[in-house]
C-alpha cells in the first residue's frame, strides 16, 4: 500500500473511531495531495507525497512558533498534535552525524571545494537525502563543510 492509499485508509479509520482531530488533519493532507494531482494532471509517487508532507509539517512548525509567540497555548497544542500525526507518515529523520557523513561523500563525489559550488552540492544532497532531512539543516552542514 502506497502512502496516499495509507492516508485514505487512515481517514476511514479515524471516521469510524470518531476521532475528529485526526480525521480533519488527514483530510487536509489528502486535499493537498489531490490538489497537486489535479494541477499537474499526474499520479503522485510516494516521494512526491513525502515532499507534500514535509511542506505541511513545515507549515505546522511555523504556525506553532507564531502561536507560541502570541501566547495561544491552545493553538500551539493543536498544531503540535497535527505535527506529530504528519511526522508518523514521514521516514525517520537522519541524525546530524549521518547527514554529515552523506554530505561529505556528496562533496567528494561532486568535487566541490568552495562556496561557489554549493548549488551543485545542494541539488545532489536533496536528491540523495529526500525527505529525511530539512533543506535548512542540509544548508547549514554544507556551509560548514565547504567553509
> Would you say the pTM of this structure is higher than 0.85?
no
- According to the model, what pLDDT value does residue 107 have? 92
| Statement to judge: residues 67 and 130 lie in one domain | no
In the predicted model, what is the mean pLDDT of residues 45-57?
Answer: 92
Percent of the residues in the chain that have a pLDDT greater than 90, as a whole number: 80
| Statement to judge: residues 106 and 80 lie in one domain | no
Structural domain boundaries enclosing 26: 3-87
- According to the model, what pLDDT value does residue 106 have? 93
DSSP-derived secondary structure for 67-93:
HHHTT-HHHHHHHHHHHHHHHTTSPPP
In the predicted model, what is the mean pLDDT of residues 61-85?
Answer: 95
pLDDT of 130 over the 90 cut = no
pLDDT band, very low/low/confident/very high, at 105 (cuts 50, 70, 90): very high
| Statement to judge: residues 34 and 59 lie in one domain | yes
Assess contact for 94 and 132: CB atoms under 8 A.
yes
pLDDT band, very low/low/confident/very high, at 15 (cuts 50, 70, 90): very high
In the predicted model, what is the mean pLDDT of residues 51-73?
Answer: 94
Q: How many domains does the chain have?
A: 2
| Statement to judge: residues 62 and 127 lie in one domain | no
| Statement to judge: residues 79 and 101 lie in one domain | no
- The CATH number that applies at residue 116 is 1.10.10.410
Amino acid at each position: 500500500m502506497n502512502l496516499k492509499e495509507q492516508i485514505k485508509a487512515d481517514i476511514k479509520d479515524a471516521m469510524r473511531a470518531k476521532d475528529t482531530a485526526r480525521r480533519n488533519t488527514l483530510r487536509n493532507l489528502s486535499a493537498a495531495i489531490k490538489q497537486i494531482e489535479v494541477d499537474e494532471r499526474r499520479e503522485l509517487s510516494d516521494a512526491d507525497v513525502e515532499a507534500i508532507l514535509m511542506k505541511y509539517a513545515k507549515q505546522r512548525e511555523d504556525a506553532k512558533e507564531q502561536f507560541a509567540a502570541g501566547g495561544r497555548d491552545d493553538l500551539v497544542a493543536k498544531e503540535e498534535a497535527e505535527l506529530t500525526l504528519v511526522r508518523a507518515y514521514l521516514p525517520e529523520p537522519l541524525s546530524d552525524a549521518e547527514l554529515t557523513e552523506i554530505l561529505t561523500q556528496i562533496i567528494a563525489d561532486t568535487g566541490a571545494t568552495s562556496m561557489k559550488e554549493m548549488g551543485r552540492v545542494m541539488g545532489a544532497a536533496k536528491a540523495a537525502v529526500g525527505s529525511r532531512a530539512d533543506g535548512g539543516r542540509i544548508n547549514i552542514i554544507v556551509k560548514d563543510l565547504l567553509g
